[in-house]
Structure 1
């Protein structure tokens, strides 16, 4: 088995949101997230985004959204845009709490199954 290093020659700014969703609203949250996702992925600086649900006991109502951007300044510009406000407004009724973490991707290794 060999491991190939992924191309991170282009900078990637990653945002990870942890969202606590109100009990019983997960399926509706997922549906709305998919509906409004284009408001993020259609932005020229967005590389992609992913929605995951917590798998640990006690995290049944916790979701993680990972979003990759070409750089931090363009993400910050999106974060304060009307487009983002509309996206956030649609998702807000499902949230009971959350947090955001940002990071710079410095390396990546592709797994054997890739």
Structure 2
């Protein structure tokens, strides 16, 4: 339903990857991504590479609610996931938000 209120919780990460390690980072991210997507509270995640900033990636993950994400964030499974990606990181930041509305585009209908 266009404009439906979702109530989901979104996490947006901006990651700066060490020069020359971008392809390896993408491969490892895809290999270890199930640590997140297998969580019952996870609604999906996306990896995007910036067209404007070399070595910058954005990761979006959606969760059923904030408490479920925070529980996962403190888990051993998340620590393992982060440990595998850490060697590629040069820096990063995180933003969290609540999804208020989602409008489905014509290409998805």
Q: Does TM-score exceed 0.5, indicating one fold?
A: yes
- Give the deviation of 1:6 after TM superposition: 4.7
Gaps of 5+ in 1: none
- Given the alignment, which residue of 21, 27, 37 partners 1:25? 21
SS of 1:5's equivalent in the other structure is coil
TM-score by length of 2: 0.94
Distance 2:81 2:22 in 1: 17
Q: How does 1:58-77 map to 2 (within 5 A)?
A: 59-77=53-71
Gaps of 5+ in 2: none
TM-score by length of 1: 0.90
Count of matched residue pairs: 108
- Give the deviation of 1:8 after TM superposition: 3.1
Distance 2:9 2:58 in 1: 16
Could you say which residue in structure 1 is the equivalent of 2:34?
Answer: 38
Distance 2:100 2:45 in 1: 18
SS of 2:57's equivalent in the other structure is strand
